[in-house]
């Protein structure tokens, strides 16, 4: 059954898509790690969620008797992962009301309550309030504290006492706004003479008592201290929990700037802002630098040295969290003569990025710094300067599902992960026919064959439809293919098995439970790219519901698709616990020279009696260089994997500029000791081993490792 009540009546839409690209068509790419070349073969997308198959297929295991703890994270935290890049007060919820929106003026509660969604981030409210506040006559270049107190008092009072429908709805949903992130933009926050709406500019002074950026931080502190509820019983909306010092500063101030700023100056600015904010708001958490493109490996890791490492060295200790943005580029005009290429984060690149950042954090601060993923999904460059099309939403949703599944595998490290889905975003419209691309809502007339001004859900709603019911305690689950991501939860009698296929071809798989447990009431929710349209270019995502008689049936997941399988079992008692953690080597970022050993130590470990261990080696190398070093762990040789997570990153020359990804190697449990030596040796020069990490599962009983 296809779920369609919120979607357009017709699935066809004309898109500009280069059919030679993997993902635009239905081609596949081998992700063998031994060569820079990739072979492609044709494969059609399947709209069937289950079928019989004699093809060798993936095995998925889930144990309803287990409880998996990832650090201190034991449940599916919807307030952390099922989020929207919006607040409960923004005007988009009421723009075009009077029955011009799905749900009428009750759009916000209809959406967040139906899909159990939490609010995530606001980058506009603080800027608008700045445009209303005068300069302090006694402190040139600083916001007026008297104005902040007066306007802030009016704002909190109005929020608390307004009796119109908008006010009632905001207060009714404010519990979904308790983890809000607010962020500054570059202008006029960066002190360079840019005027505020009241005709003054932030002070550029740089003294011992007031370092460069203090005036900006002072305003942000006044905003947080005066425009929100400060304690229980006071008026006002909930106070933001997180503050990003600035949104994507290096892109605007360095990469795209005519006169680039010094990165060190920007990072010192972060320190000054954070110190000023904390003077008035010791309860908020400060972070940065909100990297737009964390390409650590760029220019043989010079990008890491000049930006990300430098930030950690200058401001890392003063930050409560590190903030990052991750986007897939599935249709990026970055090839020769503007040809479209694909540059994916999902898969091994995302793993390598996390491991390198975390390892450096452990080496310098003794712990993994909490991570804020305040934007993620896909940038759809080749389709952004045209009308809305459903295929564009598919590109965004499939990336969001894959990345979120990877985030959830390190749930204890993530403060929050917010897909960049706006509400209506009329503020970003380029022309009458060119709306902002990543929107939860579209006007009905934007759909092929549709008319009308009403705002209806875009295909981005499929993300929330897929995850609508998932909740509960985390279960131990595993997949025999690292390209089939799995996660599992139990809530009462209902179990949820979530899967995402990173492959560009369909994957048949079987679900296995322990021998003494049988499943019943099996329902499959399958989100995939449909093929109902006559032409390849007119395809749209589909959410299909079906049932299985038992887990003896083979299930088929479509290319880059996601599933949630719900079921009950005859025995769901929690019998044992599995604890997952990471251990980091003593060194990182080691240059590769042909024939020379690279050594790492993992010392002070307590080897688990039961469980499993995976050695994670992350490499940054030019395409064509070997990804298969000789590997020795405590003197025993290990084989480099034949496959990596996700695509091979080369994609027949249409992929990333170089390889940066993680090799995942099963490690015999009895090989692990308290102190351990890892030795690598490559047969060619170039690039770096960026990190070496052990992923450990410690179980109270023997563990199925597939």
DSSP string covering 357-402, please?
A: HHHHHHHHHSSPPPEEEEEEEE--GGGTTS---HHHHHHHHHHHHH
Q: Phi and psi (nearest 5°) for 444?
A: -60, -35
Q: Are 545 and 525 in contact (CB under 8 A)?
A: yes
Q: Are 50 and 548 in contact (CB under 8 A)?
A: yes
Burial of residue 34 (CB within 10 Å: 0-12, 13-18, 19+) is exposed
Closest residue by Cα to residue 574 from 119, 34, 75, 17: 75
Q: How many CB atoms lie within 10 A of CB 333?
A: 13
Starting at the edge strand found earlier in the chain, the sheet holding 630-633 runs 597-602, 676-681, 630-633, 636-638
Counting runs of H as helices and runs of E as strands, what totals does the chain give? 13, 31
Non-local (6+) Cβ contacts of 256 within 8 A are none
Q: How many CB atoms lie within 10 A of CB 25?
A: 17
- Positions marked active-site: 248, 375
Closest residue by Cα to residue 331 from 641, 696, 15: 15
In order of 81, 376, 377, 509, 527, the CA distances from 418 in angstroms are 7, 7, 9, 30, 20
DSSP string covering 212-275, please?
A: TTHHHHHHHHHHHHHSS--STTSSSSPPPSEEESSSSHHIIIIIT-SSPPPHHHHHHHHHHHHH
């Amino acid at each position: 059954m296809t779920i369609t009540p919120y979607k357009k009546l017709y699935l066809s839409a004309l898109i500009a898509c280069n059919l030679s690209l993997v993902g635009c068509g239905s081609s596949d790419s081998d992700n063998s790690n031994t060569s820079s070349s990739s072979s492609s073969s044709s494969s059609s997308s399947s709209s069937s969620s289950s079928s019989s198959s004699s093809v060798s297929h993936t095995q998925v295991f889930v144990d309803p008797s287990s409880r998996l703890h990832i650090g201190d994270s034991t449940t599916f935290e919807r307030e952390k992962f099922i989020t929207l890049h919006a607040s409960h007060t923004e005007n988009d919820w009421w723009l075009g009301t009077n029955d011009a929106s799905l749900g009428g003026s009750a759009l916000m509660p209809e959406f967040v309550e139906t899909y159990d969604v939490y609010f995530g981030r606001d980058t506009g409210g603080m800027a608008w309030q700045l445009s209303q506040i005068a300069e302090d006559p006694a402190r040139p270049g600083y916001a007026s504290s008297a104005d902040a107190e007066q306007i802030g008092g009016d704002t909190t009072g109005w929020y608390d006492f307004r009796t119109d429908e908008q006010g009632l709805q905001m207060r009714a949903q404010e519990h979904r706004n308790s983890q809000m992130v607010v962020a500054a933009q570059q202008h006029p926050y960066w002190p360079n003479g840019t005027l505020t709406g009241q005709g003054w500019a932030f002070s550029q002074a740089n003294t011992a008592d007031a370092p460069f950026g203090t005036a900006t931080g002072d305003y942000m502190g006044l905003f947080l201290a005066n425009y929100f509820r400060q304690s229980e019983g006071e008026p006002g909306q909930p106070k933001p929990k997180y503050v990003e010092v600035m949104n994507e500063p290096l892109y605007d101030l360095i990469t795209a700037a005519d006169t680039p700023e010094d990165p060190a100056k920007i990072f010192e600015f972060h320190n000054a802002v954070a110190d000023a904010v904390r003077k008035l708001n010791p309860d908020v958490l400060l972070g940065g630098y909100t990297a737009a493109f964390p390409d650590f490996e760029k220019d043989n890791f010079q990008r890491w040295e000049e930006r990300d490492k430098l930030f950690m060295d200058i401001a890392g200790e003063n930050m409560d969290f590190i903030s990052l943005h991750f986007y897939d580029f599935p249709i990026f005009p970055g090839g020769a003569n503007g040809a479209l290429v694909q540059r994916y984060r999902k898969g091994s690149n995302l793993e390598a990025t996390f491991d390198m950042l975390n390892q450096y954090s452990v080496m310098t601060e003794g712990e993994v710094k909490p991570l804020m993923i305040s934007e993620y999904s896909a940038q759809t460059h080749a389709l952004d300067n045209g009308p809305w099309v459903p295929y564009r939403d598919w590109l965004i949703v499939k990336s969001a599902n894959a990345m979120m599944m990877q985030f959830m595998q390190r749930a204890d490290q993530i403060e929050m992960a917010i897909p960049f889905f706006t509400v209506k975003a009329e503020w970003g419209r380029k022309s009458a026919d060119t709306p902002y691309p990543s929107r939860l809502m579209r006007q009905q007339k934007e759909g092929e064959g549709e008319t009308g001004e009403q705002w209806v859900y875009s295909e981005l709603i499929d993300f929330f439809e897929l995850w609508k019911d998932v909740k509960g305690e985390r279960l131990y689950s595993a997949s025999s293919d690292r390209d089939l991501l799995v996660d599992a939860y139990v809530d009462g009698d209902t179990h949820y098995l979530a899967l995402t296929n990173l492959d560009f071809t369909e994957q048949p798989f079987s679900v296995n439970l322990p021998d003494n447990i049988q499943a019943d009431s099996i329902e499959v929710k399958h989100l995939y790219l449909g093929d109902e349209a006559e032409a390849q270019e007119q395809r749209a995502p589909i959410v299909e519901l079906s049932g299985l008689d038992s887990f003896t049936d083979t299930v088929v997941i479509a290319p880059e698709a996601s599933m949630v399988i719900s079921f009950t079992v005859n025995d769901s008692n929690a019998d044992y616990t599995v604890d997952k953690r990471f251990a980091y080597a003593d060194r990182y970022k080691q240059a590769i020279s042909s024939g020379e050993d690279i050594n790492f130590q993992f010392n002070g470990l307590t080897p688990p009696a039961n469980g499993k261990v995976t050695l994670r080696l992350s490499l940054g190398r030019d395409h064509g260089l070997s990804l298969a070093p000789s590997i020795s762990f405590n003197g025993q040789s290990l084989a480099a994997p034949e496959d990596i997570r996700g695509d091979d990153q080369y994609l027949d020359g249409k992929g990333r500029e170089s390889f940066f990804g993680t090799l995942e190697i099963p490690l015999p449990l009895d090989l692990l000791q308290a102190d351990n030596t890892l030795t690598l040796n490559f047969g060619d020069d170039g690039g770096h081993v960026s990190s070496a990490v052990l992923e450990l599962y410690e179980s109270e009983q023997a563990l199925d490792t597939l």
